[in-house]
Structure formats: C-alpha cells, structure tokens
Amino acid sequence: MASLPRTRLQARILSSEEEEKLQRDQALVSDFKQQKLEQEAQKNWDLFYKRNSTNFFKDRHWTTREFEELRSCRDFAEQKLTMLEAGCGVGNCLFPLLEDDLNIFAYACDFSPRAVEYVKQNPSYDTERCKVFQCDLTADDLLEHVPSESVDAVLLIFVLSAVHPDKMHRVLQNVYQVLKPGRCVLFRDYGLYDHAMLRFKAGSKLGENFYVRQDGTRSYFFTDEFLARLFVDTGYEEVVNEYVLRETVNKKEGLCVPRVFLQSKFRKPPKSPAPTSHDPDPGHTA
Ligand SMILES: C[S@@+](CC[C@H](N)C(=O)[O-])C[C@H]1O[C@@H](n2cnc3c(N)ncnc32)[C@H](O)[C@@H]1O
C-alpha cells in the first residue's frame, strides 16, 4: 500500500469519466425505501455479521501507530487509559489495540447483537480489560453503561459513515457525555471520492455523498468541512482534520485504486478553572 501526501484542502481530483458518472447517477432512492432502510439499519448490520461472521474486516493494527494520541494522552508511561470504541463491529480495531497496549481498559459497543456476541466469544475477550455492550448510538444513552466523563479517548472508526447524516450529531452528543474534558474523539472514515463512492451503481444514491449498498447497509463519504461543522456544532474543538490518500491494489480487478479517508481528532474543551474568591461577581453591581 503506497502512502501519498496528505492534503487538507481537497479530496482527490476526479477524472472526467468519474465526474460524468457522478453527474449521471443523481436519481435518489424513494422516500419510502429510505425510511425502510433507516428503520432496518440495525437488522441489516446484524444480517451482515450473520453472513460474514468475523471474516469481513481485516484487523486494524494501524490504530496505535496512527493515533499516537492514545499514548500521548498519558501523564506517565504506565498510566492506565480508559477508552471507548463506539461501533466496534466484531473487534477488528479493539483486540489489536488491547494486545498492543496492556494499560488500556476498553468499553466497546455496537448496535448489532451478533457483533457484540462475536466480541464476547473472542478468546482474547477479558472482562478485566474490556466491557462490550449493545447500544444504538443514535438512540440509547451511553451513560447507562459508561460513567460520565470517565473516558480518555473515544474511537469512531468507519462508524459515523453508517449513520444517517441527520442523526450523526446524536452520536457525537452521546460520546461527549462520557469523554473527560480536554480529551479527544479519534475519527477515521471514508472521505469524499473514495473509490468505494465511485463504484456505486445508479439507483444507490440516498442523498448528497450518501449511498446504500446491495445488502442495505449505508455509507456516507465525508468532506473535512462537513465533519468539522458536525463536531464544532456539538461543542468540540478541531485538533486535526485531514484527508489521507492511499492507493491500494485490488487483486480481483487487477487495478490500483485510489482510496480517500478522513482522519481527524476533535477535543472536548477542558473545564475552565473555577472562579477564585477574588473574582468579582459580574451579577452584582453594588
Ligand atoms: C464498517 S463497521 C466498522 C466496525 C469497526 N469499528 C471496525 O473498524 O472494524 C460499522 C459498524 O457500525 C455499527 N453501527 C452502525 N450504526 C450504528 C449505531 N447507530 N449504533 C451503534 N453501532 C452502529 C455497525 O453495526 C457496524 O458494526
């Protein structure tokens, strides 16, 4: 996998054929079908795991390397960190992370009951180091499982793209409650014009940059601006927000394909220091 320079200003430039394709495929899926997809989102992901078991996603060993934040948010080397992986799937990110770093305790959740069960059945699942639970991040309160402001880092890895854009802010509000002030959400997901976006057939478009796969699961493709607005409007501060461009070889098609991801870090603002007794009370004018 070759690594190309990162750019903050734009996702990749499309060829004229690619531009034409996107222009051509503008018809949207009917409202009725869209509502059905929203109602059945959980079921469709659960069926995805029924079909693919734990075999679909590769283990993501890059997480600690790329998100050196996980190490750098320690005050001393052996400090225990608490993290939350929201939308953990079957643990492709979670288990490599726990293996890499023995001083992490991880909460992990997903709305697919099957995915949660696969995590529990994984031989590396250890309740001393990990707690997995089922949760719809757009509807259920994380505070039922995770204490308020107790988490040092939240991972959102290829999860927000699966959520309807109208509900994405609910996910960010939900994780905000459990994140310690001054700590970050670490985000990686599909970027605008990723190869996957160009592969959707006509009739798969749900809205701007939002598509449905054959199996009913959906995928949004982020611009850095859209993501920043979403986080900032929920109260976070932007720390890093940049496209990562890669070329991967698709062996089946014998092609080198351009991948675009968005990798970002948004911080919950630190608590402002409590006013000291010397501070004048602005409410009193005497
Ligand atoms: C592409 S998978 C990524 C899984 C994992 N983060 C990884 O990197 O391997 C997206 C996951 O998001 C979960 N998901 C989608 N919408 C969700 C929601 N509203 N609440 C909780 N999980 C959700 C799906 O069940 C699925 O497991």
Alpha carbon of 166 to ligand 1 centroid (Å): 17
Q: Does residue 140 fall inside a structural domain?
A: yes
- The whole-number pLDDT of residue 46 equals 97
Give domain status of residue 86, yes or no.
yes
Pocket mutation for ligand 1, best pick of 110, 175, 213 (most atoms within 8 Å of C-beta): 110
* CA 269 to centroid of ligand 1, rounded, Å: 26
Whether 89 lines ligand 1, by a CB cut-off of 6 Å, is yes
Indicate if ligand 1 lies below 6 Å from the C-beta of 67. Answer: no
Instruction: Identify the residue whose C-alpha is closest to ligand 1 atom 4.
Output: 89
List b or e across 152-168, with b for residues whose CB sees 16 or more CB atoms inside 10 angstroms.
bbbbbbbbbbbbbbeeb
Which percentage of the chain shows pLDDT scores above 70? 87
What local confidence, expressed as pLDDT, does residue 278 receive?
A: 54
Higher pLDDT: 194 or 253? It is: 194
Regarding pTM above 0.85, the answer is yes
Could you tell me the CATH number of the domain that includes residue 150?
3.40.50.150
* pLDDT at 276 > cutoff 70: no
For residue 158, is it within any domain? yes
C-alpha–C-alpha distance, residues 218 and 45, integer Å: 9
Task: Tell me, yes or no, whether 137 lies in a domain.
Answer: yes
156-177 pLDDT, tens per residue?
Answer: 999 999 999 999 999 999 999 9
Q: What is the pLDDT of residues 38-95, one digit of tens each?
A: 999 999 999 999 998 776 667 666 655 556 767 777 878 788 999 999 999 999 999 9
Kindly state whether residue 98 falls inside one of the protein's structural domains.
yes
pLDDT bin (cut points 50, 70, 90) of residue 2 is: very low
pLDDT at 233: 97
Nearest alpha carbon to residue 84 among 162, 176, 157, 151: 151
The reply to whether 151 falls in a domain is yes
Structural domain including 70 reads 41-190+220-248+261-267
In a domain, residue 15? The reply is no
Q: Is 87 in the pocket of ligand 1 (CB under 6 A)?
A: yes
Q: How many domains does the chain have?
A: 1
Ligand 1: atom nearest CA of 137 is 20
* Contact status, residue 131 vs residue 161, Cβ threshold 8 Å: no
Say how far apart CA 196 and CA 222 lie, in whole Å. 12
Assess whether the C-beta atom of 45 lies below 6 angstroms from ligand 1. yes
Query: Given a cut of 50, is residue 1 above it in pLDDT?
Result: no
Helix pair 41-52, 113-121: axis angle to 10 deg: 40
Residue 88's pLDDT is 97
Please state, rounded to an integer, the average pLDDT across all residues of the chain.
88
* Pair of tokens at residue 232: 């900032």
- CA 262–ligand 1 middle distance (angstroms): 17
